Amino acid sequence: MKPRACLLAALAAGLVSCSSAPKNQDQVFEQKNRAAELARFGNDYYRKGDLDQAQRFFTMALAYNAAADNRAGLAETYNSLGKVALARGANDEATRQFAEALRIGEELGDPSLVAKAQNNFGEAAFARGEFVASLELFVKALAARGLAETDRAVMLHNQGSALRRLGRSPEAEALFREALAINVREKVWSEAASNYYMLASVESERGQYARAEDMAREALASDRKVENSRGIANDYVALGRLAARAGDSEKALDYFGRAVLVYRSLAAVEPRADVRAGLHDAARQAAETAERLGRADVARGYRDMLQEGEPSR
């Protein structure tokens, strides 16, 4: 759905009422506050992987922002809708949403809104495998004035990810560490976990498996602080791979098994969260590791998951 069409659909669904009477100030503030609340709900569902619910709440937030003529809020919500589209793999739709956010940011002359849209364009380019283009966009976004520290941390992390894909790991590491320092200071633990995760991958590339494991354990501890189940499962998969590379298949199997358990439990408590890809990967690696260990019964259990269409919701 195109950005304007998305807004019209929300309005047509009766999410806001029309009136020819002028709004009083309290009503406008109420609409802005409601939009912010709906956006928070959308962000919560987005983090859980429930993209349908995230889109629903972001679409409602868009309508309330429009009703209050909150242009900055509209830009933020278009960015959020673009993130949902990107997570679905709908890159063209995502870039259309980001373009609306960029247009409004430029119209308002707000450098931070412009930078957020540019960063998101960079994420879309990264998802397409265009790492040079994404790096240019991340660098441009990071140069903006007035960025919140948490936004800077996201852009530093993204720039580091692009540099790593371009074979420039030492530069990437410095940026991951700078982002980590901000996120630890601001107590943004889910983002700190992402920084630790990437530092683990850099250490693993160097063959420094003990250091990599330390970083992966820090990622796990950070994700636990905010009960980020998806992140916890990913951390266990990373720890399993590191253990396998270090030659400890028993430990690797344990970690992969923990990842499978977390993914399956997340699917049980959040039925709308799509965990299929992550669960399939963890179950496959658990099966392969069990087979290497000669644990046929254990391997068969994981293979059965794969053959039965598990992982599923």
pLDDT one-digit tens code per residue, 217-249: 999 999 999 999 999 999 999 999 999 999 999
The Cα 141–Cα 147 span in angstroms is: 9
Average pLDDT, the chain: 91
- Out of 199-203, 234-238, 270-274, 275-279, least confident range: 270-274
Q: Give me the amino acid identity at 262.
A: V
Predicted local confidence at residue 217, as pLDDT: 98
The number of angstroms, rounded, from the C-alpha of 313 to the middle of its chain's C-alpha atoms is 19
Place of tokens 């278009």: 78
* CATH for the stretch 150-227: 1.25.40.10
Indicate the pTM of the whole model: 0.86
Structure tokens at 37: 């609340």
Residues 6+ apart with CB under 8 A from 181: none
**For the chain, domain boundaries:** 1-15+22-147, 150-227, 229-313
Residues 6+ apart with CB under 8 A from 213: 200, 239, 242, 243, 246
Q: Give me the amino acid identity at 306.
A: L
Eight-class DSSP state of 273: S
Q: Which CATH superfamily is domain 1-15+22-147 in?
A: Tetratricopeptide repeat domain (1.25.40.10)
Domain 229-313 has CATH 1.25.40.10: yes
pLDDT one-digit tens code per residue, 17-48: 334 445 555 566 899 999 999 999 999 999 88
Contact 205, 168 (CB under 8 A): no
